[in-house]
Amino acid sequence: MSAAREPIGVIGTGYVGLVTAAGFAELGNDVWCVDIDAAKIERLRRGEIPIYEPGLEELLARNETRLHFSTDIADALGHARLLFVAVGTPPTHSGDADLSAVHAVAGAIPASGSTAGEGHALVMKSTVPCGTGAALRRVFGEQGKSGLAYVSCPEFLKEGSAVEDFLHPDRVVVGDEGDWAGDAVVELYRPLGAPFVRTDIASAEMVKLASNAFLATKISFINEIANVCEETGADVVEVARGMGLDERIGQKFLQAGIGYGGSCFPKDVDALKQLAGNSGYHFQLLTAVIEVNELQKRRVIGKLNRHLGGLAGKRVALLGLAFKPNTDDMREASSLVLSARLQADGAHVTAYDPIAEEQARRLVTGIAYAESPMGAVRGADAVVLVTEWGELLALDWKQVAETMAGDLVIDGRNALDPDAVRGAGLVYEGIGRR
Ligand SMILES: NC(=O)c1ccc[n+]([C@@H]2O[C@H](COP(=O)([O-])OP(=O)(O)OC[C@H]3O[C@@H](n4cnc5c(N)ncnc54)[C@H](O)[C@@H]3O)[C@@H](O)[C@H]2O)c1
């Protein structure tokens, strides 16, 4: 069997699992996908894609014959030795990662029989605290599955460009015990031509947590600089450009705005802070990163209040709701805090998002949803750009000005052209901009 075409299992068919499955199918591997959500598996079998991710539908369709969907982990065990685990690890009330789905997968692998742990490996794609691999290895021993190998292979894809990220990763991190399973994972990824970081399990787990914490720190840092810019008359866009051209700093993740959200940064930063705290170490920097982010989501409220002289009875249009463009993911989106705060202060909120409305309706109640950007801004006293969807960046601001009742545009992502907005006779206010 050619290693590059080895059949694999993928447990969990969410954003990470589906993209991983489609990506490996594209590389020529047969992929056995398993999920406990029977409705989702039914949809996937019918060729329906339960999430919005650019390029994913085409990739899944093109590799239809290599992709198999089931609710029974035995199907994956029967066909593949490597089981990629991509189940959710949401935060618990304590801020630790909830590993119950990971443990459920480990528990579902039988201890004996023809499809037993022997000869199989769990390849962890889910983001888990440092030490999870070691703990699972102990559990395997207790459950009579010490033959089950374990590899940490953290995932770095970004929603919105996940397919691209899978096919062109910056690096592939493989943490293992130097056994066959780590070698097999390296062979699977080899056709992508990315550098490998082959290391121990704990270090691989920490690479993921530290990477997300660092990126979140960069965002909170530039947001604080933006806030100081507002006090001092500097423009954060100019400042970030000047900083980012320094190769040691880099341009990415230096866009000031209304804070980070999504299914990863908030929970992973919390989980790392908690992991440190559980070991008796107070991670002061991350405490500040989290607090800055929370305050940043609320900064728009202060700006609206200042311009509108209070929010009670005012009509505010939110353009975009997803936590970032090109995804329908609403988890920890800044729009959740913003819409709740606006309503608490008595504002009437109308929102538009080109893709995330269905997800948003489950989480954001009490607001009106418009079918178009112009529908959202009709009669509004103020417009807030929350998510920088391409469609929203291309708005005709003269038409917006004619449709609104007021004239205030708050650019929560510093993504609009201030001259175009002002040229339409509107008042432009960004985050940390002159
Ligand atoms: N979404 C991202 O951008 C991203 C990026 C990198 C890493 N991660 C990490 O990857 C993991 C998965 O994230 P996601 O966004 O794909 O999650 P998701 O919620 O979209 O998908 C998780 C899937 O796992 C399924 N599942 C839960 N328990 C199961 C079980 N016992 N057996 C089989 N399936 C089960 C769920 O039904 C769901 O379909 C998380 O740990 C996350 O932190 C996510």
Which two three-digit tokens encode residue 252?
Answer: 């990415």
Q: What is the pLDDT along the chain (434 residues), one digit of tens a residue?
A: 444 589 999 999 999 999 999 999 999 999 999 999 999 999 999 999 999 999 999 999 999 999 999 999 999 999 999 999 999 999 998 888 999 999 999 999 988 644 455 689 999 999 999 999 999 999 999 999 989 999 999 999 999 999 999 999 999 999 999 999 999 999 999 999 999 999 999 999 999 999 999 999 999 999 999 999 999 999 999 999 999 999 999 999 999 999 999 999 999 999 999 999 999 999 999 999 999 999 999 999 999 999 999 999 999 999 999 999 999 999 999 999 999 999 999 999 999 999 999 999 999 999 999 999 999 999 999 999 999 999 999 999 999 999 999 999 999 999 999 999 999 999 999 999 98
| CA-CA-CA-CA torsion sign (227, 233, 236, 240) | negative
33 is catalytic: no
The closest residue, in CA terms, to atom 28 on ligand 1 is: 101
Distance 200 CA to ligand 1 centre (A): 23
Strands 348-352 and 31-34: unpaired
**Is the distance from CB of 125 to CB of 87 less than 8 angstroms?**
no
State the burial class of residue 371 (Cβ atoms within 10 Å of its Cβ: 0-12, 13-18, 19+): exposed
Which ligand 1 atom is the nearest neighbour of the CA of 97?
A: 41
Which ligand 1 atom is the nearest neighbour of the CA of 50?
A: 39
DSSP SS3 for 330: coil
DSSP state at residue 68 = E
Is residue 33 in contact with ligand 1, taking CB distance under 6 Å?
A: no
Distance 160 CA to ligand 1 centre (A): 16
Best of 161, 263, 327 for a ligand 1 pocket test (most atoms within 8 Å of beta carbon)? 263
Q: Which of 383, 348, 384 is nearest to 368 (CA)?
A: 348
- Sequence-ordered alpha helix ranges (H) in 110-200: 132-142, 162-167, 180-189
Which ligand 1 atom is the nearest neighbour of the CA of 128?
A: 41
Is residue 17 in contact with ligand 1, taking CB distance under 6 Å?
A: yes
